[in-house]
């Protein structure tokens, strides 16, 4: 599975249930990466989309602890065990975890690639992505050239789950 997120300097991803900033090229990047794939998100992430509707062209899977919660045109699961059973139907290379904070924290250990848009700005965030730079289980693979959106600079970065070290 893969992770995809846009983060600020402190790995912030959101404030009050909304993205910190919407950069058109990042939105295009997200769409290009996830189109035709299964995307896994929490209820609040789904509800932050226009009209609270699933994203077209992708299989939307929504994780909610509310057993009565259902979503038209999306799979709805209510536990990590139920999510695992649904994900078994998909090629794991074609599954993206798209947020929010709780879902990222629950599933990033099960992923092997992360596509992170790093925004060179520190926002007042209340939701955060795990800091992959500080996590020894992840390694930085590379980044795009620096891009700009008005006065913001950002790069598209890739991280990979580090190979397990052999005990000596």
pLDDT at 153: 98
Residue ranges of E strands in the chain: 2-7, 12-15, 18-19, 38-42, 59-63, 75-77, 95-99, 113-119, 127-128, 138-143, 147-149, 152-161
90 inside domain: yes
pLDDT mean over 145-162: 97
20 inside domain: yes
CATH of the domain at 124: 3.40.430.10
CA distances in angstroms from 161 to 41, 118, 138, listed in the order given = 21, 18, 4
Predicted confidence (pLDDT) per residue in 33-87, tens digit: 999 999 999 999 999 998 999 999 999 999 999 999 999 999 999 999 999 999 9
User: What's the pLDDT band for 167 if we cut at 50, 70, 90?
Assistant: low
Predicted confidence (pLDDT) per residue in 4-46, tens digit: 999 999 999 999 999 999 999 999 999 999 999 999 999 999 9
15 inside domain: yes
167 inside domain: no
88 inside domain: yes
pLDDT at 47: 93
25 inside domain: yes
pLDDT at 164: 77
168 inside domain: no
151 inside domain: yes
pLDDT above 90 (res 1): yes
pLDDT at 5: 98
Total number of domains in the chain? 1
pLDDT above 90 (res 166): no
pLDDT above 90 (res 147): yes
Domain residues for the domain of 45 are 2-161
pTM of the model: 0.94
pLDDT above 70 (res 91): yes
Predicted confidence (pLDDT) per residue in 94-115, tens digit: 999 999 999 999 999 999 999 9
Q: How many CA atoms lie within 13 A of 130 on its CB side?
A: 23
């Amino acid at each position: 599975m893969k992770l995809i997120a846009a983060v600020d300097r402190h790995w912030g991803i959101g404030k009050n249930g909304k993205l910190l900033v919407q950069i058109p090229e990042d939105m295009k990047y997200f769409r290009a990466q996830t189109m035709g794939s299964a995307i896994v998100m929490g209820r609040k992430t789904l509800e932050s989309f226009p009209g609270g509707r699933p994203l077209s062209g992708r299989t939307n899977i929504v994780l909610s602890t509310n057993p009565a919660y259902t979503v038209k045109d999306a799979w709805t699961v209510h536990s990590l065990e139920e999510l695992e059973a649904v994900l078994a139907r998909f090629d794991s290379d074609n599954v993206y975890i798209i947020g929010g904070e709780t879902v990222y924290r629950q599933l990033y250990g099960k992923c092997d690639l992360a596509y992170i848009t790093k925004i060179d700005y520190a926002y007042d965030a209340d939701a955060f992505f795990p800091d992959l730079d500080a996590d020894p289980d992840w390694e930085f693979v590379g980044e795009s050239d620096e891009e700009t959106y008005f006065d913001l600079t950002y790069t598209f970065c890739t991280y990979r789950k580090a190979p397990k070290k052999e005990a000596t």
